[in-house]
Structures are given as C-alpha cells and as structure tokens.
Amino acid sequence: MKELKKAKVSKKMLDAVGGNMVLAQILTRRGISEEEVPVFLNPDLYTPTAPEEFPGMEEAVKIVRRAIKQGKKICIYGDYDVDGVTATALLYKVLKKLGASVTYKLPDRFKEGYGMKEEAVSRLHEEGVGLIISCDCGIANLREVELAKRLGMEVVVTDHHALPPVLPEADAIVNPHCLAEGHPARWLPGVGVAYFLAKGLLKSYGREAEADEYLDLVTLGIIADAMELVGENRYIAQRGMPLIKEGRNLGVKALMEVAGINPRFITEEDIGFQISPRINAAGRMERPDIAVELLLSEDVPRAEALAKKLDELNEERRRVADAMLEEAEALVIEGEPIILFKAHWHQGILGITAGRLCEKYNVPTIMMSLKEDGETVVGSARSVAGIHIYQVLQECRDHLAAFGGHAGAAGLSLEREKLDAFIDACSKVIKGRMGDIEIAPDSYDLEFPIEDVDEGLYYELRRLAPFGEGWPEPVFFCPDVEIVTARPMASQQHMRLVVGHGDKNLPALWWWADSVPEKGAVDLLYSVGINRWDGKEEVQLIVRGILEAEEREEAEEKREPTWVDYRSWRELGKPEPIYEDALYFYEGPPLWAFPKKTVDRYRVKEARRLVLLSCPPDSRVLDEILALSKAEEVILAFSPEEIVDNKVVVRWIMKYIKSVVNNKGGHTSVQDLAAFTAQTELAVMEMLRFLEQQGMLEVKIGEYGKLHIKLNAQKVPKAKLPPPLTALMNETSAYRRHMNTHAKTGTGTKYS
C-alpha cells in the first residue's frame, strides 16, 4: 500500500484542536492560522459586528423609530426566494414586537419579477404606506425609489447585492458592500442585513439581546443563498443551527416534519437540499406569501397545513425541473457557455436548472423563457469561480431592460427582439473570461486511509461545521481502493458500493454516479457520512469522485468463506441455526419469532459467521453482504417458502405502507421498503409507480431515497402488474429458486 501524504502541522495547531491530527491538517491546508482556530471553532470567542459599523445604519434606525412613534404604516418590500422570505418574516416579527403598524409586500415572480416595481409603489401609497423598507432588493431600483419619494414616502433600502454605479436616492441605505474590503460582515445575505437593522433598532430600545432570537432565520438565508461561510456568516450559522434544531420557529419545525428530518441531526445539507427548496417552491410555483405566512405562524395546525402545501408545491416543482433539465441538456455544447432560451420554460424553475447545469459542466449558465405578454424575456444566471456574472451582465447592459445580482447568481430581463443580440454579446464576454475559471490545484483536503474511517472521525469533522460555500465539507483522497461490489439503488443514477482498503470494507453511496464502476483498484475521493437506524449509527462513505489508479498493486488472493447448507431447517424440523459470533441476515415480513436479532442488507457488519435466514434478492446484494460481513463461514438457512407470488409481495408493501402512514406520518425510504419486501430497490420503485398509477397512494421522493407516502385506498389493486415490475420481481424469484435448488456446499465454493 502507498504511504499517504500528510500536511505538516505545528504543535501549537495540534494543541488548538485537542490533539486531533486530521482537524489540524485540514485547518492548516485551508489557511486557518493557529491564532484563528479557537475563535473559528468556538463562536463564544468571536466578537460580533455591531450594527453601527454599517454605513447608513444610524439614519435607518432613526427613520424607522420615528415611523413607529408617529404611527406611520410601514411596508416591508421583500423578495420571493428564501433570502427575501426570511428577511421579510424577520423584520415583520421585530416591528410587530415594537408596536409598529406593519405589512409586507413580496413581488409575484411571474407578473412583476424581481425587485421593486413602480406600479406596486403607487399602490402602496394609495394604501397609506408612509415608509418602505426594502430587504434583499432595492439597491438598483432608482426609478422606484424616486417615485416613492415623489409621492411623499420615506424609503430605507437594505440589500446585499452589488452596488450599481448610481445609488438610489433613498433616505437611508444599508448594504454590506459599503463596508471596507475584508470586513467580516461584507458577505451577508439579504436576511443578514435585515437582521442587523433589527438588531440596531432593538438596541436603540435597550433590547438588543432579543435580536438573537431570529438567528435561525438568518442561518436559513445564509445557507440557501450560498453565502460564504466566513466571518460573520460563519458565526451566525454556528449560533443559528442550534435554534433550528430546537424548532424555535414553528414554521421551520413543520417543514422539518414534512421533509422527514430529525431536528436533532439536521445539517446544512438538509437545509440546502430539503428545507430551502420547499420555501422557494412558494414563489416558484405559486406565491411567496405562503412561505412568509408559514414563518410567521404561531399556530401549530396552521403551520403544519402550510408546510404540507409547500411540500406539494415542491413536488410539482421537482417534476417540472426534471423535464426542463432533460430538455436543456440536449442543447448543451460541451466547453461552451450555456445560454439557452425556450419560450415555454417555467419561469420559476430557470434558476434551479441553471444552477444544475453550471455545476455539472463548470461553465456560466443563463436560462431564459418568455413571459405571458409575449414580449418580455426573463432569465436566471449562475456562474463559476473566476467569472463574476453580474459584471458580465453589466458589459451587456445595452441589450437588457433590467438586471441584478452578485458574482455567482443574477436575474435579468430584456425585450424579445433583443434576445439574439444579447446571446451573441454575452457569449463573447464569457468566452473572453473562460481562462479565468478557477480550478483548485487539489480537489481534496488530505490523503486519509479508508481503513481508519469510523464514527469518531465523523463527529470530529462536525466540529468544523457549518459547511457550505467557501467552507466545503472535507473531502479525502485514498489511493488503491478496491471496488468490491457496485449496484444501482432507487435509480440507475445512484449507486451503492462496497469499497475495500487494507483490512476494512465499508459501504459507500455515489449519488449521481457518472457510470457503473467496474470492480478493481481505483483512487477514491470521498467524504464521511453516517447511517442512522434503530437508534444506532454506522459510518458510510459518500463518493465524491472515482479516478483510475495510477499504479495498480496486485490484488491479494482472498480466501473464500466456507459454506454450510442448513436450508429448509424449519420444514425438516431441525433446531434453530444458533451459532457463536454470528450475524443473522433476514429481509421480509416477520414470519416467525427468531431468538436472535437480525439485520437487513443496509446494516451488515463484520462477523465470523453469517447466517442467511432469507435469500438476498439477487447476486449483487449477496456479494455486498459477503463483502461487508467478511464472514469466514456462511450458513445457508433460507427456505423455499419465501418464494411467493408477485401479488403477495405487493400486499406486503401495502401492509407496510399502512403501518408507515399510521405510525410515522407517511415517512419512509426506498431502503426500508426494499428490506421489508426483500426485493431490489429498482423493483420497489416500480411497485410504487404502479400503486400510484392505480390511485392507491401518492408518493413524494426526496433526497437520498427518502419517501413521503399518502395512502388513498386500502385494498390491493386487481390490475395486472406492469411488465417492468413483473420482470424485476421474476428475476428475484428465479434467483431464489436457483439458490434453493442448485447451490452446493463446500469450502471455497460461492453460490450465485
């Protein structure tokens, strides 16, 4: 085995992390100094930014205080994404607490688009609004602010987007880009700016400490808007994550429930991939007010109802996004900027699709569609490190009606007749900067042997959290890793592997796999995850990349286990197969009372003996079980009775779903259903599709195989099973018949 390279660390750095060499190496390699470590790991040692450090804050606080005292009607003018929604909810809560007459306005993405609009400003004036406070918008709204002032309204702009050449003539502007370069609060999201206005306001009343009650909302915005997790953002997220776990906000708590997230173990990844999309779905698919109402809710039943509504909108959003992505990918030319237009594309999904294409192809991406007026093109842009997309749009501003954003993301609109000219101009600007795309010299933090990975390492790494933009989850590199087994999960895009290194085999998940990896030696990029089940935890790897090994060492000849035939023991009246040092594998409904605890394919651990009380659904699952158990002796103790009619298996899954709906609110996973039915994950997905088509249930598919199922009918459908499902289940039955009738025992013989 190769000797793994290590980063050099000082004794002072090692002492600062309590002697943990892995953490010391990661921090050293990422440029965190010895002096910075205590503050980096412990938010209590950080000195937070004071509200008065922001230019314009003092005047903004005076204006808002005066409006509250005079009883002026205040309107918070927000935005329709997570950042704008959380900012609106935060300011509304604080102003209400201070006795203000306050309302809020969020633009309709489809009718109004991003930012303030003159028609909306005029309407607010007619409704008696005396003060507009913008959040997550306003910095580029010169005409709209001018109109508000002309109508006699005051305007306070709080925004975090890049400063345009000319600023609006607002009564006060609070924007972190007005801070000095290098200031720790310079990269706040919109809700972060709103938080500091709220904090400054509360401080003026002698109630500054109350501002920290809303750090959970700020944390949502930081993660959702992909703000760099450095300085103030990191500090706020460190303080806000515990509040999210506590479920302080009823709306956030209800969202965790519908997403099937255990609040105790919620991570930044859960927020980014499960909570944020549900909040965003309101503005993308319907109206953003639903999300604000959820975050403001103080009534549990109402919060639960709104969370379910957002969950439904998110499922609709997912279906539309998948279809758009497939259509867009057919138009992509590798190595070229991705600038695409289709009149029918859903305006609310443009940003999501642009982000996915940008990440996959590592080039700036702009997705555009046509508004209902048939004349206005709207678009969303996403970019990569090294190409500032807002600056790109500035160079193309002669072709645009409006645009706004920052380095990584932007929105735009233009007249239909200028579309071709814009595409040509924008493509030229981006191509001229393609050489600036930053590619990290190393795609991992350090080399670390898989054989040393355990649950303790996972929790040590969590000390470096929160992870996100600018501070990604640690990635390790291990050469000469053996791919022992590989098989698809719920779809052909996601793979479950067993990887071996040294004397250890571990399960590994590869989401959105490039291809089915072949068995053999590879160099592996991975991060460390945890699998929680039945109150227990086991470490698992998350594959970040598979590289062909530069030097392939000769594989050691592995000793095959001894196989013992104890099949049909129940039918023959034999004693129960009880052994010392044994692991008992069983999948399927609990058909009999067995005195020992059993495990399914996802909970296999190393054991000297492996007892197969049921037959795996195919040879790939068997290979996986054997690789993870590393058993010296395998006892075949399954029975022909487990080969049942396909319709019986469908009844099993319906029985299990009823239990899940009644006892777990409909939350389960593809893995749990596969273990209960003793079928492959692909067969389970086909079963769910069939049952949904028959109107028996509704299925919402989440990240990592999570499912939320709503049961519509109790009886098993009489319809004929579809050919794809029948074929998958017949393959499993044929494999089990083979294992029951043709397997031979004897040392060194493998049955598959």
pLDDT digits (tens, 9 = 90+) for 641-651: 778 888 889 88
Q: How confident is the model at residue 608 (pLDDT cuts 50, 70, 90)?
A: very high
Region 688-717: mean pLDDT is 83
CATH code reported for the domain at 334-436: 3.10.310.30
Region 124-149: mean pLDDT is 96
Pairing outcome for strands 504-510 and 495-501: antiparallel
Report pLDDT for 746: 39
Report pLDDT for 752: 36
Whether pLDDT at 477 is above 80 = yes
Report pLDDT for 644: 84
Whether pLDDT at 2 is above 50 = no
Whether pLDDT at 114 is above 90 = no
Q: Among candidates 113, 90, 700, which has minimal Cα distance to 351?
A: 113
Report pLDDT for 168: 96
Whether pLDDT at 751 is above 60 = no
Report pLDDT for 622: 95
| pLDDT, mean over the chain | 89
Which tens digit of pLDDT belongs to each residue from 332-355? 998 899 999 999 999 888 988 998
Region 113-142: mean pLDDT is 94
Region 56-63: mean pLDDT is 98
Please give the residue that has the higher pLDDT: either 545 or 535.
Answer: 545
Which tens digit of pLDDT belongs to each residue from 360-375? 888 999 999 998 888 9
Whether pLDDT at 3 is above 50 = no
Q: Which residues contact 11 (CB under 8 A, 6 or more apart)?
A: none
Q: State the DSSP code for 297.
A: -
Please give the residue that has the higher pLDDT: either 268 or 359.
Answer: 268
Whether pLDDT at 192 is above 90 = yes
Whether pLDDT at 29 is above 50 = yes
Whether pLDDT at 441 is above 70 = no
* Apex 673 CA angle, 668 and 675, nearest 5: 125
Whether pLDDT at 558 is above 70 = no
Region 39-50: mean pLDDT is 95
Q: What are phi and psi of 697, to 5 degrees?
A: -155, 170
Q: Which CATH number fits domain 43-214: 3.90.1640.30, 3.40.630.30, 3.30.450.20, 3.40.109.10?
A: 3.90.1640.30
Q: What are phi and psi of 669, to 5 degrees?
A: -150, 160
SS3 call for 39? helix
Report pLDDT for 4: 46
Q: How confident is the model at residue 557 (pLDDT cuts 50, 70, 90)?
A: low
3-state secondary structure string across 395-442: HCHHHCCEEEECCCEEEEEEEHHHHHHHHHHHHHHHHHHHHHCCCCCC
Containing 668, the helix (H) or strand (E) segment is: strand 667-669
Report pLDDT for 315: 86
Domain ranges in the chain are: 11-30+445-548, 43-214, 334-436, 560-752
C-alpha dist (Å) from residue 228 to 78, 117, 162? 22, 30, 15
Report pLDDT for 151: 97
Q: How confident is the model at residue 491 (pLDDT cuts 50, 70, 90)?
A: confident
Cis amide prior to 466 (ω within 30 degrees): yes
Q: Which of 476-480, 489-493, 511-515 has the highest mean pLDDT?
A: 476-480
Q: How confident is the model at residue 554 (pLDDT cuts 50, 70, 90)?
A: low
Region 509-537: mean pLDDT is 83
Region 96-122: mean pLDDT is 91
SS3 call for 525? strand
The span from the CA of 622 to the CA of 609, in Å, is: 15
Report pLDDT for 373: 84
Region 48-65: mean pLDDT is 97
The span from the CA of 191 to the CA of 187, in Å, is: 11
Which tens digit of pLDDT belongs to each residue from 665-696? 888 989 999 999 999 999 999 999 999 999 88
The CATH T-level fold of domain 11-30+445-548 is OB fold (Dihydrolipoamide Acetyltransferase, E2P) (2.40.50)
Q: How confident is the model at residue 454 (pLDDT cuts 50, 70, 90)?
A: very high
The CATH T-level fold of domain 560-752 is Arc Repressor Mutant, subunit A (1.10.10)
Report percent pLDDT > 90 for the chain. 66
Same fold flag, 11-30+445-548 and 43-214: no
Whether pLDDT at 524 is above 70 = yes
The type of residue at 534 is: D
The span from the CA of 641 to the CA of 737, in Å, is: 10
Report pLDDT for 335: 83
The span from the CA of 389 to the CA of 23, in Å, is: 34
Q: How confident is the model at residue 555 (pLDDT cuts 50, 70, 90)?
A: low
* Apex 27 CA angle, 467 and 445, nearest 5: 75
Report pLDDT for 71: 96
Please give the residue that has the higher pLDDT: either 628 or 468.
Answer: 628
Which tens digit of pLDDT belongs to each residue from 212-260? 999 999 999 999 888 888 999 999 999 999 999 999 999 999 999 998 8
Report pLDDT for 640: 82
The span from the CA of 542 to the CA of 530, in Å, is: 9
The span from the CA of 312 to the CA of 491, in Å, is: 22
632 is written with which tokens?
């010296």
Q: How many CB atoms lie within 10 A of CB 209?
A: 10
Which tens digit of pLDDT belongs to each residue from 375-387? 999 999 999 888 9
Q: What are phi and psi of 230, to 5 degrees?
A: -130, 160
Report pLDDT for 748: 38
Task: Count how many residues are written for the chain.
Answer: 752
Whether pLDDT at 452 is above 90 = yes
Report pLDDT for 142: 95
Whether pLDDT at 559 is above 50 = yes
